[in-house]
């Protein structure tokens, strides 16, 4: 039961994130066949604290998230993020795999090339968006144009 954009709670924390974290804790705990009581004991906290996290009433502090992840043998991302936020497409995984297979002395060069390509694409997108905004305005009208001030053509100054 995930909430959709309910805004902030009394502690100015996003309610949607709380529900997601709580659901993730519950799913991981149940998949590991661990009770709330066993998890609470492992973390040295009260069982009702686990229940309040799972219900989305509160979110665990970072040190507890780390403890939960260690106890349930999962990553902190699996606790903190929605599944869609953790997904990496197959083609990106293949790129990561190829990058990891490079010799260590080539990795900095590959990083620079990848950053350059991404920056170029981002600039291209910005240029395209600018062009689209100009085109969507339609043709320039005379009143849209402000001529520059007249230039001094070397005439002597009249002080």
Question: Which pLDDT band holds residue 130 (cuts at 50, 70, 90)?
Answer: confident
Question: Which pLDDT band holds residue 2 (cuts at 50, 70, 90)?
Answer: very low
Q: At what angle do helices 15-31 and 62-72 cross, to 10 degrees?
A: 20
66-112: pLDDT as tens digits: 999 999 999 999 999 888 788 888 888 899 999 999 999 999 999 99
Domains of the chain are 15-86 (1.10.260.40), 90-138 (no CATH)
pLDDT of res. 149:
79
**DSSP assignments along 14-63, one per residue:** BHHHHHHHHHHHHHHHHHTT--HHHHHHHHTS-HHHHHHHHTTSS---HH
Give the pTM.
0.51
pLDDT of res. 108:
94
Q: Across the strands, what pairs with 14?
A: 8
């Amino acid at each position: 039961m995930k909430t959709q954009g309910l805004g902030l709670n009394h502690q100015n924390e996003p309610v949607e994130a709380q529900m997601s974290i709580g659901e993730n804790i519950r799913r991981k705990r149940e998949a590991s066949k661990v009770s709330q009581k066993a998890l609470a004991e492992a973390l040295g906290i009260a069982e009702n604290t686990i229940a309040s996290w799972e219900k989305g009433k509160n979110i665990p502090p970072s040190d507890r998230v780390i403890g939960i992840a260690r106890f349930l043998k999962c990553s902190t991302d699996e606790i903190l993020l929605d599944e869609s936020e953790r997904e990496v497409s197959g083609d990106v995984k293949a790129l990561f795999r190829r990058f990891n297979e490079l010799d260590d002395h080539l990795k900095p060069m590959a990083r620079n090339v990848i950053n350059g390509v991404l920056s170029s694409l981002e600039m291209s997108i910005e240029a395209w968006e600018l062009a689209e905004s100009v085109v969507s305005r339609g043709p320039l009208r005379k009143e849209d144009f402000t001529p520059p001030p007249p230039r001094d053509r070397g005439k002597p100054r009249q002080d």
